[in-house]
Amino acid sequence: METVIVNMRDGIEEAGMRRAGEILRRGGLVAFPTETVYGLGADALDEEAAGKIYQAKGRPSDNPLIVHIADWDAIEKIAVDIPPEAKLLSDAFWPGPLTMILKRSDAVPLATTGGLDTVAVRLPNHEIARALIRAGGGYVAAPSANTSGRPSPTKAEHVVRDMDGVIDMIIDGGDVRIGIESTIVDLTEGAPTILRPGYVSREMLEKVLGRVEIDRALLAEDENIRPKAPGMRYRHYAPKAPLVIVEGPAQRVRERINALSEENAADGRVTGVIGTDESQGYYRNALVKSIGSRADERSIARHLYGILREFDDSEVSVIYSESFDTPQMGQAIMNRLIKAAGHQIIDVNE
Query: Could you give the angle at the alpha carbon of 30 between the alpha carbons of 24 and 34, nearest 5°?
Result: 115
CA distances from 44 to 37, 54, 70, 239 (A): 18, 13, 13, 31
- Which region, judged by CB under 5 A, interacts with Mg ion, from 56-64, 141-149, 214-222, 261-269? 141-149
63 scored as a contact of ligand AMP (CB under 6 A): yes
Residue 191 vs 259, nearer CB to ligand AMP? 191
- Residue 26, judged by CB atoms within 10 A of its CB (0-12, 13-18, 19+), counts as exposed
Q: With binding defined as CB under 6 A, does residue 260 bind ligand AMP?
A: no
Cβ nearer to ligand AMP, comparing 269 with 339:
339
DSSP string, 276-298: -TTTGGG--SSEEEE---TT-HH
CB of 236 to ligand AMP, least distance (A): 9
**CA 336 to CA 328: how far, in whole Å?**
15
Binding residues among 12-71 for Mg ion as defined by CB under 5 A:
none
Query: Of these partners, Mg ion, ligand AMP, none, which one is at the site of residue 300 (CB under 5 to 8 Å by kind)?
Result: none
CB-nearer residue toward ligand AMP: 13 or 62: 62
Cβ–Cβ under 8 Å, residues 314 and 240? no
- The DSSP result for 192-228, as a single string, is -EEEE--SS-HHHHHHHHS--EE-HHHH-S-TTSPPS
44 binds ligand AMP (CB under 6 A): no
Q: By rule CB under 6 A, what count of residues binds ligand AMP?
A: 19
> Nearest distance from residue 122's CB to ligand AMP, in Å?
9
Is 230 an interacting residue with respect to ligand AMP (CB under 6 A)?
yes
Beta carbon nearer to Mg ion, 288 or 341: 341
Q: Binding of ligand AMP at residue 180 (CB under 6 A)?
A: no
* Residue 298 near residue 327, CB atoms below 8 Å: no
Q: How far is the CB of 67 from ligand AMP (least distance, A)?
A: 8
Comparison of 143 and 197: residue with beta carbon closer to ligand AMP: 143
Ranked by CB distance to Mg ion, the top (closest) residue is 144
Give the shortest CB-71-to-ligand AMP separation in angstroms: 20
Q: Which is nearer to ligand AMP, 32 or 283 (CB)?
A: 32
What residue type is assigned to position 86 of the chain?
A: A
CA-CA-CA-CA torsion sign (1, 5, 126, 16): negative
Neighbours of 210 (CB within 10 A): 10
Closer to ligand AMP by Cβ: residue 40 or 274: 40
162 versus 322: smaller Cβ distance to ligand AMP: 162
- Residue of 23, 66, 132, 288 that binds ligand AMP (CB under 6 A): 66
Task: Provide CB contacts within 8 A for 340, sequence distance 6+.
Answer: 151, 236, 237, 238, 239, 243, 308
Shortest distance in whole angstroms from residue 94 CB to ligand AMP: 17
Q: Which residue is nearest to ligand AMP (CB)?
A: 231
Residue closer to ligand AMP, measured from CB, 166 or 244: 166
Rg (CA), the chain: 20
- Rounded to whole angstroms, what are the CA distances from 168 to 25, 52, 202, 343? 12, 11, 38, 37
The residue range among 143-151, 217-225, 279-287, 326-334 that interacts with Mg ion, by the rule CB under 5 A, is 143-151
136-165 binders of ligand AMP (CB under 6 A): 143-144
Site for Mg ion in 165-194 (CB under 5 A): none
DSSP-H helix ranges across the chain: 14-25, 47-57, 75-78, 84-93, 127-135, 156-163, 202-209, 216-219, 250-266, 297-312, 330-340
- Binding residues for ligand AMP, rule: CB under 6 A, are 63-64, 66, 101, 113, 116, 118-120, 143-144, 181, 184, 195-196, 229-232
- Binding residues for Mg ion, rule: CB under 5 A, are 143-144
